[in-house]
């Protein structure tokens, strides 16, 4: 019997991102706030019990070291099961743009395969597997709004925010995170960590009390913007143009996500976003950019989406997280 599932894999933005000292293991200590958004990739999965594990990806897009394949192998090993698993990936999240598409794909595989296999893995185990695949993979196991510490794998849920409309501007620019970290110059003896942490805490308090990213934007920062905007002046021009939309009454929250290259703008209403998008038309700064409308997705919304897309494989009235399979013995 072949079991099928069609999975929506959400993108993310960083509402705030501080890079602290470099760690002895080569990573950096981070302070960031992750937020899932409604932009998705689509993954079709076919699962069939077999005597040996065979994992194939159709339409692989020539992605090197594909995280879907690695996640599938890791979770199959953890469950100690064998199957033929076939994935078909439809990409809509721009690659290398700071939106976490690859990590989200990996987390989606970690959540879906135990359900299709009739096995149960606790969230902690899935998080440990995810952390080995990428620093932001564990976040996508729960979604919503979350503080991430350490190298991005230590997560603390924040209250759900207003689902404010967002406009994503993704230029045809790939920002490699390695050189961006080097340009920041954060050494083992970085001395400004305490001020960065205090500033980050101010943003988090404003976010939690107002339940609105746009309202808290005055306290937000992304440390990568200072170096990435110098390396890629087009990104600075895009951010400036979007900020100028405030003169038309839109008052957007503008920030680069991750180490780039996507710039996002959060608005108070869909009407303000539509006005802003019309104002971008014909502006040569945005030529060659992919412009995408989306909205913030809460943790509750993320969980509802997952139960809906796996409903034929779940017990009725399923409430546990991660979702448990109706095939479990």
Catalytic residues: 12, 136
CB 94 within 8 A of CB 113: no
Smallest Cα–Cα separation from 97: which of 286, 297, 261, 267? 261
Instruction: Retrieve residue 216's tokens.
Output: 């808290």
Instruction: Note the helical H segments in 31-176.
Output: 67-79, 101-117, 123-133
- Strands 83-90 vs 145-149: parallel, antiparallel or unpaired: unpaired
Token reading at 86: 């076939």
Tokens 């925010």 locate to 161
Which residues, other chains included, contact 26 with Cβ-Cβ below 8 Å and sequence gap of 6+? Answer: none
Q: Residue 284 and residue 282: Cα distance in Å, rounded? A: 6
Whole-angstrom Cα distance, residue 37 to residue 296?
4
**Rounded distance between C-alpha atoms, residue 142 and residue 139, angstroms:** 6
Contact 196, 20 (CB under 8 A): yes
> Which residue reads 């989306």 in tokens?
294
Instruction: Check residue 286 and report its DSSP letter.
Output: G
Q: Identify which of 166, 131, 142 has the alpha carbon closest to the alpha carbon of residue 305.
A: 142
Rg (CA), the chain: 20
Do residues 38 and 264 make contact, with C-beta atoms less than 8 angstroms apart? no
Distance CA 135, CA 271 (A): 36
């Amino acid at each position: 019997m072949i079991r099928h599932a069609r999975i929506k894999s959400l993108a993310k933005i960083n509402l705030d991102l501080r890079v602290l000292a470099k760690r002895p293991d080569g990573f950096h200590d981070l302070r960031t706030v992750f937020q899932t958004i409604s932009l998705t990739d689509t993954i079709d999965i076919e699962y069939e019990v077999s005597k040996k594990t065979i994992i194939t990806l159709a339409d692989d897009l020539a992605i090197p070291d594909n995280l879907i394949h690695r996640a599938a192998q890791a979770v199959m090993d953890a469950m100690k099961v064998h199957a033929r698993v076939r994935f078909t990936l439809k990409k809509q999240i721009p690659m290398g743009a700071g939106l976490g598409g690859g990590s989200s794909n990996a987390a989606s595989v970690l959540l879906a395969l135990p359900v299709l296999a009739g096995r149960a893995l606790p969230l902690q185990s899935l998080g440990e597997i995810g952390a080995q695949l990428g620093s932001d993979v564990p976040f996508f196991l729960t979604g919503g709004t979350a503080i991430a510490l350490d190298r991005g794998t230590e997560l603390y849920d924040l209250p759900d925010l207003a689902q404010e409309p967002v406009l994503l501007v993704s230029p045809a620019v790939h920002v490699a995170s390695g050189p961006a970290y080097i340009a920041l110059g954060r050494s083992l003896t970085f001395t400004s960590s305490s001020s960065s942490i205090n500033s980050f805490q101010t943003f988090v308090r404003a976010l939690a009390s107002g339940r609105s990213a746009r309202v808290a934007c005055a306290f937000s920062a992304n440390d990568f913007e200072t170096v990435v905007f110098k390396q890629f002046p087009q990104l600075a021009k895009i951010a400036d143009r979007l900020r100028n939309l405030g003169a038309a009454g839109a008052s957007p929250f503008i920030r680069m996500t991750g180490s780039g290259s996507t710039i996002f703008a959060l608005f108070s209403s869909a009407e303000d976003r539509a006005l802003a998008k019309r104002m971008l038309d014909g502006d040569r700064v945005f030529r060659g950019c992919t412009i995408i409308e989306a909205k913030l997705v809460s943790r509750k919304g993320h969980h509802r989406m997952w139960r809906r897309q796996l409903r034929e494989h779940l017990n009725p009235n399923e409430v546990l997280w991660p979702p448990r399979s109706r095939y479990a013995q």
